[in-house]
Amino acid sequence: MASRDCDYRFLQLLDAMASINQTVNLIGVVVDTSIPKKSKGTDCFCTVKIVDESYSSPGILVNFFAENMEKLPHVESAGDIIQLSHVVMKTYEKEIYILFNKKFSSFALFDGKCSTNFVPYQGSPKFRPREEDKKFIADLRKWSADYQLERATNEWLSLKEIRVGERINLMCKVLHTYEVTENEWVIFLWDGTDTPPVTVQTKLEDEMVNPIPLDLQQFPLSRDILCTFPAVGTVLRMIVDQGNTEKLGLHLLKTGRWVKFLNIICHHHAGLWRGLLMPFTRLRYLPNDDPLVLQSQRDYDKRVSSKWAWMPLSSIPWPSYITETDYKEVPFVTLMNVLTYPEVTSKFRCVVRVIAAYPWRAEDFRSPLGTYRIRLTLEDPTARIHAFVYAEDGEELFGGYPSVNVMIRKRNKLLGIANSDDSRGRIEYAPRNPPWVQCCIKSYYLDKSDVWGTRNYRIFATKLVDQTS
């Protein structure tokens, strides 16, 4: 049996693959990991894919079992080195894998970068370091410095490139994890870009009894948490696929770290993008100095340094001209800026889509006394809010008190509805794609003495331009 050292034996992976049902010692470079989960028994389980110079693609999986998730390996970054002692080579349906047995196997994890540090950052209780280990770790560090982890993976997408229903690989930063109910988690991901706008599928008349939600969670995040999120770029909500009933160790995800998720699926829910963690999803933690991480940060810094680049990416070079505001030189901000701004009352200029209106019929936009009173649902890539159009702000928005037919036409343009000849404004159900429009928004409290109350928002200093010819 081949070995690297006659006194202290580490098999190369290619040699180990010929040693089925034998106990071996191995050392390799970590490519990616699964998310820890409860096994079908009482143990916890995860897999780690490793490579070495003898078998650099596609790599081989190590199946780990432990009494709890904390005792499983917690890899800091793809490219780190793992040392395995007394593991067993196994096969399942012609696939070779490595079995880590909690009773007699041991592991240790080392930083994969070239250094003089040979102290593991995590080791199992049975791990015993040896002086001979250092040479193998150093050699593997030198080899992995030139090894490209991307060889064995497909393309990586940013949030602006995601697609519905396909398995994709996504690189992003974990901003926050949130346990909605017991064992039901939401992961918040961001990369500085915007997800593509989604076609609105709901009926306008449903807004009274079944309004479009402002968020995907039943219990939205607190403002304190929102204030920790970047103000530019979509924060994607990711959940566990409902078909996956296993308890996953999502509380162990490292917030603030850049991660590559392999084989996730994205879809639309309530007109918002949502990611699904599937049973086959894997992940890689990236070091902060990874070239892709640095490039993403440079792209984000360039974006936020521009006066106009806080507009949604899909609205560039300029939003629709169906609205105008009185503050043409005020820079745009995002709805996340609006939600997290520390002061109230405050004024903002934003580029948004109007995805719903309540009441929805144009003839009901004014009270019996003639006062405008409308609640619009606004969205941009960062957030959704309700914004009210009231009294004189409605007069400015609609140009006074036009006829119902003119009001219908203006409403339809704002909401992305194909014009109807029905003077009563009845609308057949059809997908809508509202245009990006600019507007001014004011934040306020209903009761000025209630400084801890819920913020409200009004549209002001904005008018719909009648572009009929």
Residue pair 181/306 in contact (Cβ under 8 Å)? The answer is no
Q: Check pLDDT > 60 for residue 395.
A: yes
User: How distant, in Å, are the alpha carbons of 74, 97, 195, 323, 412 from that of 198?
Assistant: 37, 42, 9, 21, 18
**Per-residue pLDDT reduced to its tens digit, 400-419:** 999 999 999 999 999 999 76
pLDDT computed for residue 422 by the predictor:
47
Residue pair 411/399 in contact (Cβ under 8 Å)? The answer is no
Integer Cα distance of 414 and 434 in angstroms: 7
Query: What is the architecture, at CATH level 2, of domain 159-305?
Result: Beta Barrel (2.40)
Integer Cα distance of 312 and 117 in angstroms: 46
**Per-residue pLDDT reduced to its tens digit, 258-285:** 999 999 999 999 999 999 999 889 999 9
Share of the chain above pLDDT 90, in %: 73
Q: What are the structural domain ranges in the chain?
A: 13-150, 159-305, 313-464
**Per-residue pLDDT reduced to its tens digit, 134-190:** 999 999 999 988 887 655 455 789 999 999 999 999 999 999 998 887 778 899 999
pTM to 2 decimals? 0.89
**Per-residue pLDDT reduced to its tens digit, 32-78:** 999 999 887 789 999 999 999 999 988 999 999 999 999 999 999 99
Integer Cα distance of 313 and 20 in angstroms: 54
Written as six digits, the tokens of 212 are 């479009």
Specify the CATH number of the domain 313-464: 2.40.50.140
Report whether the peptide linkage leading into residue 345 is cis, meaning its omega lies within 30 degrees of zero: yes
CATH class for the domain made up of 13-150:
mainly beta
- The arithmetic mean of pLDDT across residues 424-436, rounded, is 73
One fold for both 159-305 and 313-464? Answer: yes
Q: What is the mean pLDDT of the chain?
A: 90
Written as six digits, the tokens of 409 are 């036409």
**Sign of the CA dihedral with 234 first, then 236, 237, and 243 last:** positive
User: How distant, in Å, are the alpha carbons of 320, 336, 346, 444, 467 from that of 459?
Assistant: 17, 16, 12, 11, 21
pLDDT computed for residue 467 by the predictor:
65
Integer Cα distance of 79 and 144 in angstroms: 7
The pLDDT-based confidence of 256 (bands split at 50, 70, 90) is very high
Following DSSP, what letter does each residue of 189-231 receive, concatenated?
EE-SS-PPP--B-S-GGGGTTSPPPSSSSSSPPPHHHHTTS-S
Q: Exposed (0-12), middle (13-18) or buried (19+): which is 391, by Cβ within 10 Å? A: middle
pLDDT computed for residue 448 by the predictor:
58
